[in-house]
Chains A and B, each alone.
Chain A
């Protein structure tokens, strides 16, 4: 269980995390979603006691993480897989971590086997690919068999096999009743892994919903129609309270299914050449939600209005 209460972090003039409160519960994968620069990593660092909050506090299993007597048994964390000393072998890296928390050294080959790095245990970390480093970071996180796991963008730099592996691993950890908190800036990644979603933008909480609810909420269907009688169709739809917009030779409308539009057109003898129903992607829903809080936005003509 991770609890975050009114957590705030200010770096100079920048408010990186702004009065953030949420709870991450055990037994499920909780996705921590937000555009780059939204404050995900800073929040995770504050939960782990690496950064000191300007205000508010975070608790892990009911207390401040720094107060934990055996931190690696409490929380396993992978923040930045590249942040290791390249001169050390994988097994020595893990051994030093195990020793610091009094974890028996037999656990080192165990976790190396678990992440598929047993064959390179004696090799220096400096020669590892990013994918291998991610696996090593996960091995370190699992050393103490912790109940709480925190992963910051764990699939970055992984090949499809590695991504599938991590996804299954996280689902497996959650199924065992552990708390799994994983950040990403990609909705598509979360959609296949997370049960719960915490979305932030510019350090503020935008949503704390279940994945199911998020999908239901964002599944607005859009119907596109190509017809030579655009004005007539628009008028008929207008009478039923459905507005249309024209784009690229198509009429676009929300709030009515393609079946309803087809029936309506037939009833009014309106010719239809094409009738398309599109389901808005989760990615689009996520981008819509965070549109106003994207830190570094490409200079598009329709730049977002400032966040309220």
Chain B
């Protein structure tokens, strides 16, 4: 190796470094490589699938066989029962969303990334544009898998739903949309907080813990929070028949989207201003 490397300076010139530039399509290609070249990505997506389908299957098999009156609401809403695992899969994909940007900051590799792509919004945009379709495709697969496995189990109790039933297809597609939205929610928070630990903590608090807590607030503030606070709004797209006192499925999903878009906009402003 020694003789090899000591002669290195004679071979610095490349065979051919053709013209190219740090434009968005190139940066998207780069981010695609980054996402799939760490094992954590595949493992996290598999974990989302497994916990979502697993929890849904547990609920479905319990609902199919139980005669407990407390389970009655699950038997009356077979679609909702088969999608119940999404509330757990949500946490997993939020973690993926946070980490798809926070690891650049915790490792310090963001500096290398920004030397290659000094236009910061191009880098941020490319990351989001790679994460979004990956989360949407895997989220949709997960949602459909949970639905079909759940319905197969509920069928043993004769209480299964069908995709052709009113609003059912929208709810199952909504499961994929909801998971994708959570990935981007986590991504936006990760970009603002620039730390994996605080990103995940804040994301779980904002998406899983606070929605239940703030709904308990008294008066109109509580009503508003129950309707519009993050997951409270986003989850309506999973409901076959949304409760009358909540937002409609698409309105709820729109409000949920506005939440992460605003946070992502804040991240964009901060990213342009802050030292890397």
Residue contact A101 to B21, C-beta cutoff 8 Å: yes
When chains A and B are docked, how far (Å) is the Cα of A42 from the Cα of B27?
Answer: 26
For window 1-33 of chain B, which residues contact chain A by CB distance below 8 Å? 1-2, 4-6, 8-23, 26-27, 29-31, 33
How many interface contacts (CB-CB < 8 Å) are there between A and B? 161
Bound CA–CA A208/B103 (angstroms)? 39
A308 contacts partner chain B, Cβ-Cβ < 8 Å: no
- Selecting from A77-85, A183-191, A237-245, the interface stretch reads A77-85
B118 and A102: CB pair below 8 A?
no
- Write the A86-106 contact mask toward B (1 if CB under 8 angstroms, else 0): 111100110111111111101
Closest chain-A Cβ to B112's Cβ sits at a distance in Å of 6
Q: Mark B residues whose CB is within 8 Å of A.
A: 1-2, 4-6, 8-23, 26-27, 29-31, 33-34, 37-40, 103-104, 107-109, 111-119, 273, 275-276
- Please name all residues of chain B whose beta carbon is closer than 8 Å to the beta carbon of A173 when the two chains form the complex: 9, 12
Check A97 against B30 for contact (C-beta < 8 Å). yes
Q: Known interface pairs A70-B22, A101-B21, A102-B26. Does A164 touch B112 (Cβ–Cβ under 8 Å)? A: no
CB neighbours (8 Å) of A50 from chain B are 111, 114-115, 275-276
Chain B residues with CB under 8 Å of A79's CB are: 111-112, 115
Contact of A70 among B20, B31, B40 (CB under 8 A): B20
Give the 9 A-B residue pairs with the shortest CB-CB distance, closest first.
A102-B20, A172-B9, A83-B108, A100-B30, A92-B37, A66-B118, A87-B38, A99-B30, A51-B275
Alpha-carbon separation in the docked complex, A176 to B15 (Å): 16
CB distance from B185 to the nearest CB of A (A): 23
Q: List the B residue with the shortest CB-CB distance to A162.
A: B5
The one of A71, A171, A176 in contact with B117, judged by C-beta atoms closer than 8 angstroms, is: A71
Tell yes or no: A301 within 8 A of B by CB. no
Answer yes or no: A115 CB below 8 A from chain B CBs: yes
Q: How far is the CB of B274 from chain A (nearest CB, A)?
A: 8
Digitize A157-185: 1 where CB-to-B-CB distance is under 8 Å, 0 elsewhere: 00001001100110111011000000000
